[in-house]
Structure 1
Amino acid sequence: MSKVLSQINNFQKEHVFSIASEEELLQAFRKRDQKKLVLPESLKYPLNVSSYFTWREPSGVYTYLVFKMPNWDLPRGVAFKKTAATGDPVGGLCSWCHAYGTSEDIGMLTVNMSSDVSSSYYICQDLRCIEKIEDASNLSGKSPEKNISELYHKISKLFENISSYKPD
């Protein structure tokens, strides 16, 4: 078990970053997302982040994600909007971490690309994907490195899609 834990810790050290101030955190988000931002009240700066930073605003409508790949100059942030579930609760599989859960756990989160275009992702509504990968790996006795690497790739693709989107 300790071998797996040391592999987890060694792997995560590759994605550690710091946010020096509230202004720097705000600047990580696109202008359209900054308008929706509700920052947690208890943040202390500098904010040292391992892997990524996420939080929900009090109403639960928006979930925020701040992420930085090692080759990026600055961290990037995005505001996800929770899509209201209709009908009876059902189970689902997160497309990022492959965790299974109810519609309370896994659901459709959308990112506004423009005023009339959005992208949707069927993922963990609390964005705790990395913790779920680590928990599953600890239970199975396997290294999480491959799954964490795939998660980082999927998150970086989300940000590539956002930054390369050009409205017609």
Structure 2
Amino acid sequence: MQTSETSYQTEHVFSISSEEELISCFRERDQKKLLLPDNLKYPFNVRSYFTWKEPSGVYTYLLFKMPNWDMPRGVAFKRTHTGGEPTGGLCNWCNAYGSSEDIGLLSVAMNANVSNSYLICQDLRCIEKIEESAMLAGKNPDKNIADLFSKMSKLFENLSGSKKD
């Protein structure tokens, strides 16, 4: 496991060397809706995970790698719009609280017939929120970061275990 000198024990760093490598991290079904950020310079290093939104805000992308994985894996989340007045919510990944603009349902197509939805931070800034919360409380965030990574890896395990379309 490659770790960053200034990071916590549970974090790791990985590199993406080209646009082709980045695209290949995503499932074929997600590659079809993939819009890469304009400002990426290759190669680039990733601290723990990399996330971005496409311009319309419909899709949020997550690139993640566990130390025992051969290569990073990516997924496209689709924002689920819920009508009505803004409400509060709690992220299931980092336990941050926010309005429905901050915390919302993001869905992932598991296959042609099944989607899973997650009530999580819309911008997927979970690790930053965990670090900020730990710093304010004077606590070490390692356990919460490890829990976050466990939840993310579980998502990818479910994706790879879902029936192919």
TM-score computed with the length of structure 2 as normaliser: 0.94
Identical-residue share of aligned pairs (%): 68
Q: Is the 8 A contact 2:57 2:79 kept in 1?
A: yes
Partner of residue 119, structure 2: 122
Question: Paired residue for 2:141, among 141, 144, 156?
Answer: 144
Partner of residue 82, structure 2: 85
TM-score computed with the length of structure 1 as normaliser: 0.92
> Helix, strand or coil: the match of 1:11?
coil
* In 1: Cα distance, 2:98 partner to 2:86 partner: 10
Instruction: Give me the CA root mean square deviation.
Output: 1.5
Q: Is the 8 A contact 1:68 1:75 kept in 2?
A: yes
1:57 aligns with 2:44: no
Partner of residue 16, structure 1: 13
Bigger fraction of residues in helix? 1
Question: Paired residue for 1:47, among 37, 44, 49?
Answer: 44
How far 1:10 sits from its partner (Å)?
3.8
Q: Is the 8 A contact 1:8 1:144 kept in 2?
A: no
Partner of residue 99, structure 1: 96
When residues 103 and 10 of structure 1 are mapped into structure 2, their CA distance, relative to the original with a 3 A threshold, is closer
* In 2: Cα distance, 1:23 partner to 1:8 partner: 29
* In 2: Cα distance, 1:20 partner to 1:105 partner: 32
How far 1:42 sits from its partner (Å)?
0.5
Size of the aligned set, in residue pairs, is: 161
Question: Paired residue for 2:23, among 26, 42, 49?
Answer: 26
Gaps of 5+ in 1: 1-6
* In 2: Cα distance, 1:89 partner to 1:51 partner: 31
Deviations 1:69-114, CA, capped at 9 Å, x for gaps: 0000000000000001211110000000000000000000000011
Q: Is the 8 A contact 2:63 2:73 kept in 1?
A: yes
Aligned-partner residue type, residue 11 of structure 1:
Q
* In 1: Cα distance, 2:6 partner to 2:119 partner: 26
Q: Find runs of 4+ consecutive structure 1 residues off by over 6 angstroms.
A: none
